[in-house]
Structure 1
Amino acid sequence: MVWVMSYRPVPDSYPGVEVIEGNSGELELEDMTDDGGIGLKMSRSFSGRRAKPESVPKVIRWKSKRKLLDYENACRKTVSDRFRALIEEIEPGVHQFEPIRFVAKDGSLLEERWFWQICNRINSVHPELSNWLLGPRTWRPPPKPRSEGLRMVFDTTAIGGAQFWHDMHIKGTLVSDAAKQRIDAAGTTGVHFDYREQA
């Protein structure tokens, strides 16, 4: 099965944050070769390609009173040490991690964490079984919704052995069923999953 993994704060409150050291703007990618997909000019966190380390924030001020979760998506996707270790167990040596510090309002260190850039970029939507239309770069719903409803199906052959990936033509963090099961079993905090059809 294929799942979309999103950020779900617990409790349901989104923190105030501020980049106080490093880049607060758009990431710069190591490979900007245009392949007809999204995430190369904007939303590069969803590109599926490595970011230049110097373009990653280094220190983020955390303005919330709640504790940091294993997965936070404030400014950038960041993970705790234990979530990083789990990702490496699930799919070793594939993804990019850069050190990032979170500090309190008074500047004291809260946690040493990791910026996480997923480094699988896959054209994973099944074109024959999906009734969306592939535009210049993205999948779009048809002009008039069909009577059977919108249907987007992911192609397991195209996905292959990837465990975490970004699709070339849709925005989102996609994970395999095996990865989701491991994440759930570990009690990872800050994550939420929605099922997607596959064939």
Structure 2
Amino acid sequence: MSSDLVWVIGFKEEAGFLVERTFLDGDPRKIEYVDTTLDMGDNPTFKTGLMYAGREVKPEHIPTKMMWSSKKHRPYDVFMLRGLILVSQEFKDIIERFEPDTHQFFPIEVVFKDGSHARLMYFFNICARVDTMSRAHTTAKMLHGISWDFSSGEFVFSKDLIGGRKVWIDKHVIHGLFFSNDIKDEIEKEKLTGPVFNGFPVL
């Protein structure tokens, strides 16, 4: 089991190099949010095409098909393409077991260059936008009331502000996609390929 930490997710190329991949339809630059009400933090106006602001998105323009070039190194359980996180059914099942009907998963068929089926993946959109940093313990500085400056000090998260959440976007952390201990432990237990985690203390 992991120690009492909050985890930010990153991605690794299991093949040891970047496998060529591309969307065959859709346009991530045109994906729109359902609710664009102003909320100070990262992407406060929820600009079209800027993903992971923590709110639901409309299905229009989301890709439904993509190409993965390597049959030797098949699609990982988690990877990113053009700002979208793609996850496997196994990853999706873990998230939905802990937080059912909370986040969005849009199916994307992955094919090889010859058109044969490679894997079913999902665009995973995190639909929880919250402020979870402990003001009493964080030593990093807040810039212009919008985002924490990671280089200026330490991040410490608040248990009370996190509450029972398992996956969320911290609206004051740029690229702040966070996971609880139990989600991270399940992903590692199932030996899912692609994700890497970096932990932060929570008090």
AA partner of residue 56 (structure 2): R
Q: Does 1:155 align with 2:164?
A: no
- Return the letter of the residue paired with 1:125: M
Alpha-carbon distance between aligned partners in 2 of 1:141 and 1:99, rounded to the nearest angstrom: 34
Paired residue for 2:199, among 182, 195, 199? 195
Structural mapping, 1:52-91, within 5 Å: 52-65=58-71, 66-75=73-82, 76-91=84-99
CA distance change for structure 1 residues 187 and 49 in 2, over 3 Å: closer, same or farther?
same
Aligned to 2:106: 98
Distance in 2 between residues matched to 1:141 and 1:111, nearest whole Å: 36
Letter in 2 for 1:119: C
2:34 counterpart SS class: coil
Among 153, 165, 176, the residue aligned to 1:172: 176
CA distance 1:127–1:112, change in 2 (3 Å): same
* Distance (whole Å) between structure 1 residues aligned to residue 64 and residue 171 of structure 2: 27
CA distance in 1, matches of 2:55, 2:200: 23
Counterpart code for 2:12: R
User: 2 CA distance for matches of 1:175 and 1:16?
Assistant: 28
**Paired amino acid for 2:109:** R
Q: What is the correspondence of 1:7-156 to structure 2 with a 5 Å cutoff?
A: 7-39=11-43, 40-41=46-47, 44-65=50-71, 66-75=73-82, 76-136=84-144, 137-140=146-149, 150-156=153-159
Contact 2:33 2:58 survives alignment (8 Å)? yes
- Per-residue deviation, 1:141: 5.2
Deviates more, 1:151-160 or 1:5-14: 5-14
Cα contact 2:25–2:64 (8 A) shared by 1: yes
Q: Structure 2 vs 1, CA of residues 42 and 13 (structure 1 numbering), >3 Å: closer, same or farther?
A: farther
Identical positions, percent:
30
Gaps of 5+ in 1: none
Question: Does the 8 A contact of 2:32 with 2:48 survive in 1?
Answer: no
Question: 1:42, CA displacement in angstroms?
Answer: 6.9
Of 6, 20, 38, which aligns to 2:10?
6
Aligned residues: 193
Gaps of 5+ in 2: none
